[in-house]
Amino acid sequence: MRQNFVAGNWKMNLTLPEAQALTSEIVQMMHDELTGPAPQVVICPPFPLLAGVGHLLGDSGNPALGAQNCHQKESGAYTGEVSAKQLQSVGCKYVILGHSERRQHFHEDDALLAAKLKTVLAAGLKPIFCVGESLETREADETFDFIGKQLKDGLFHLSNEEFDQVVIAYEPIWAIGTGRTASSQQAQEVHAFIRERVAVAYDAQAAANTTILYGGSCNAQNARELFSQADVDGGLIGGASLKSRDFVEIVKSF
Ligand code: PEP
């Protein structure tokens, strides 16, 4: 279902007490300040903090709990890894897959991500699947080819029913954590391209129903302009999700 949507990716930040304080502030501000229909909000803490944060989110499903990654196998001898079923058992509803930091630092490729998607969906979790080009790729004028390939090789093997559960995040690598945001026009043209690719791979209805987020230095100042674009349904937020006031202002930017 296409919906207004904001997810906070806390990356490898915060201790449990810090994470719980931030969560309580976000929940309270959303309760006090949101008028009208709320966007779907998802908070994605690091693995060890999931349960402790999840306890503070309440039963409404908004905010929902999400993870930042998970292993492609169901279970087994994979020391240090975390399974989709374990995430589901501590209350996760969403999992970020294919973040550029995982692709870059942990060499996650499209084939691996394709396998992770299947495992996550089989456990009843909803993937937030990230795509996005490097500065080099953009400057070589290859952005659309590159993203088209990430979608085709990583995502479009899913059945229609599986694809229904997926949220896509467009995150240009050059904008992540750099303070250099894509212009709303740059974001819109890639989002429109992604939606068009979904229509070709599935059908027009799937394209109309897909939630597509923008991520990359999105903040309380630029969110409203980005979210006002026809094909931008919200944001995946890194740095600004670590400050309750900034994050809730983004949540209110529709
Ligand atoms: C991210 O890491 O998903 C992200 C968008 O980070 P930032 O908002 O800090 O650029």
- Listed in sequence order, the DSSP H helices in 64-202 are 84-89, 100-105, 110-122, 135-139, 143-154, 160-163, 184-201
Across the chain, mean pLDDT equals 97
Identity of residue 18:
E
Q: Separation of 76 CA from ligand 1 center, angstroms?
A: 32
Which atom of ligand 1 approaches the CA of 11 most closely? 2
Q: Give the closest residue to 87 by CA, choosing from 30, 128, 28.
A: 128
Calculate the dihedral angle through the C-alpha atoms of 107, 110, 113, 114, rounding to the nearest 10 degrees.
Answer: -160
Cα 169 to Cα 129: distance, rounded to the nearest angstrom: 6
Residue 170 is given by DSSP the state E
Cα 130 to Cα 150: distance, rounded to the nearest angstrom: 9
Atom 3 in ligand 1: residue holding the nearest Cα: 238
Q: Give the closest residue to 236 by CA, choosing from 24, 71, 44.
A: 44
Backbone angles phi, psi at 197, to 5 degrees: -65, -35
Which atom of ligand 1 approaches the CA of 101 most closely? 2
Atom 1 in ligand 1: residue holding the nearest Cα: 238
Cα 102 to Cα 14: distance, rounded to the nearest angstrom: 19
Look at residue 182 in the predicted model and tell me its pLDDT. 94
Q: Which of 108, 171, 191, 249 is catalytic?
A: 171
Cα 221 to Cα 77: distance, rounded to the nearest angstrom: 46
Q: Tell me the pLDDT tens digit for each residue of 199-232.
A: 999 999 999 999 999 999 999 999 999 999 999 9
The CA-atom distances, in angstroms, between 141 and each of 67, 175, 191, 217 are 33, 16, 16, 22
Q: Compute the average pLDDT of residues 4-26.
A: 98
Confidence class for position 36, pLDDT limits 50, 70, 90: confident
Confidence class for position 173, pLDDT limits 50, 70, 90: very high
Which atom of ligand 1 approaches the CA of 178 most closely? 10
Look at residue 58 in the predicted model and tell me its pLDDT. 86
Question: Of 94, 226, 237, 246, which is best to mutate to test ligand 1, by the most ligand atoms within 8 angstroms of its C-beta?
Answer: 237
* pTM passes above 0.85: yes
Q: Separation of 5 CA from ligand 1 center, angstroms?
A: 15
For the chain, give the percent of residues with pLDDT over 90.
97
Q: Tell me the pLDDT tens digit for each residue of 94-153.
A: 999 999 999 999 999 999 999 999 999 999 999 999 999 999 999 999 999 999 999 999
Confidence class for position 61, pLDDT limits 50, 70, 90: very high
pLDDT surpasses 90 at 59: no
Q: Which of 99, 101, 108, 191 is catalytic?
A: 99
Q: Compute the average pLDDT of residues 38-58.
A: 97
Backbone angles phi, psi at 181, to 5 degrees: -80, 150
Question: Of 5, 9, 174, which is best to mutate to test ligand 1, by the most ligand atoms within 8 angstroms of its C-beta?
Answer: 9
Cα 167 to Cα 175: distance, rounded to the nearest angstrom: 20
Domain boundaries, the chain: 5-251
Tell which CATH architecture fits domain 5-251. Alpha-Beta Barrel (3.20)
Look at residue 111 in the predicted model and tell me its pLDDT. 96
The residues, any chain, with a CB within 8 Å of residue 42's CB and separated by 6 or more, are 5, 6, 7, 8, 63, 64, 65, 66, 93, 94, 128
**Among this protein's residues, is 105 annotated catalytic?**
no
